[in-house]
């Protein structure tokens, strides 16, 4: 990480709030780097970050910490922090493409309860990266209408090593096996994905931890353990 925007993205990816990051003028810094961590190659997100604001923003900050100014240091420190947060957000906006803007709009609509209370409440259980996966596939759903493909793609990206089977001979049904223990958090994640992507008229049956038995596949045929198909 060498730039303030890079640090804020890393902060969000690890589940922290960017408002909890505080930028400070570095006492000792390299003229060739924007961030000035004590350990040069550190990837750890720290709450207090030393910055060389002159690396890219000399014209903005050249007079803020002039050696002749000795008063209002606390105010100037606060102004530096606020301004760098603002500049980092501009950096991030400039680096976004149209698809990334649409993803942000969808996530904003979810927070505004546009897609219902269940989606609004359960989205908080997903990491930032997982939220973006859900929002991206919602965008693709509007573009293609491929519900079955997108519910399978979303589940496989959220729950690694899961298996989805389409059982449509007698009724429209999806069989989902997730190789994890059933928890309240995971159950609510499945509920959200089902709420958004499951086609009308389809039913989904979820199996946790133990795979259901499939005739002809000996490794799944465990007596007295699970359902049989």
SS3 content of the chain, % helix, strand, coil (to 5): 50, 10, 40
Cα atoms in the Cβ-side hemisphere of radius 13 Å centred on 134: 30
Please enumerate in sequence order all residues whose Cβ is within 8 A of that of 65, keeping only pairs 6 or more positions apart, or say none. 25, 76, 80
Tokens of 17: 């709030």
- For the stretch 172-209, what's the b/e string if a residue is b when 16 or more beta carbons lie within 10 angstroms of its beta carbon? eebbbbbeeeeeeebebbbbbbbebbbeeebebebbbe
Sequence spans of domains, the chain: 4-93, 98-220
Contact between 192 and 223 under an 8 Å Cβ cutoff? The reply is no
Give the Cα separation of 213 and 215 in Å (integer): 6
Q: Is the pTM of this model over 0.85?
A: no
Nearest to 16 by CA among 135, 127, 133: 127
List all residues 6 or more positions away from 42 whose beta carbon is below 8 Å from its beta carbon.
none
Per-residue pLDDT of the chain (229 residues; tens, 9 = 90+): 688 888 888 888 787 888 889 999 988 888 888 888 766 666 777 889 899 998 999 999 988 888 777 788 899 999 999 999 999 988 888 877 788 889 999 999 999 999 999 999 999 999 888 999 999 999 999 999 999 999 999 999 999 888 888 876 667 888 888 888 889 999 999 999 999 999 888 888 888 877 665 544 444 445 555 554 4
User: Which residues are registered as beta bridge partners of 219?
Assistant: none
Which residue shows structure tokens 């000792």? 28
- Work out the number of other CB atoms within 10 angstroms of the CB of residue 53: 23
How much is the pLDDT for 150? 94
Q: Pairing relation of β-strands 203-208 and 173-178?
A: parallel
* Tokens 């803007």, residue located: 101
Helix (H) or strand (E) holding 74: helix 73-94
79, containing H or E segment = helix 73-94
- Compute φ and ψ for 205, nearest 5 degrees: -110, 125
Whether the Cβ atoms of residue 162 and residue 177 lie closer than 8 Å to each other: yes
């Amino acid at each position: 990480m060498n730039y303030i925007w890079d640090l804020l993205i890393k902060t969000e990816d690890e589940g922290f709030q960017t408002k909890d990051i505080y930028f400070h003028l570095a006492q000792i810094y390299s003229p060739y780097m924007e961030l000035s961590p004590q350990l040069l190659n550190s990837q750890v997100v720290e709450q207090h970050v030393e910055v060389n604001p002159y690396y890219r923003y000399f014209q903005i900050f050249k007079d803020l910490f002039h050696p002749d100014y000795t008063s209002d240091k606390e105010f100037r420190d606060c102004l530096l922090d606020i301004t760098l947060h603002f500049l980092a957000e501009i950096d991030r906006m400039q680096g976004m493409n149209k698809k990334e803007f649409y993803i942000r709009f969808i996530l904003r609509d979810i927070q505004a309860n546009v897609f219902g209370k269940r989606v609004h409440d359960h989205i908080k259980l997903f990491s930032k990266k997982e939220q973006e996966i859900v929002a991206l596939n919602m965008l693709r759903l509007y573009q293609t209408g491929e519900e079955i493909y997108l519910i399978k793609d979303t589940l496989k990206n959220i729950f690694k090593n899961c298996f989805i089977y389409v059982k449509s001979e007698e009724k429209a049904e999806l069989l989902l096996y997730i190789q994890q223990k059933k928890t309240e958090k995971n159950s609510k994640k499945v509920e959200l994905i089902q709420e958004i992507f499951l086609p009308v008229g389809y039913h989904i049956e979820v199996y946790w931890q133990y795979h259901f038995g499939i005739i002809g596949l000996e490794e799944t045929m465990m007596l007295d353990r699970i359902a049989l198909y």
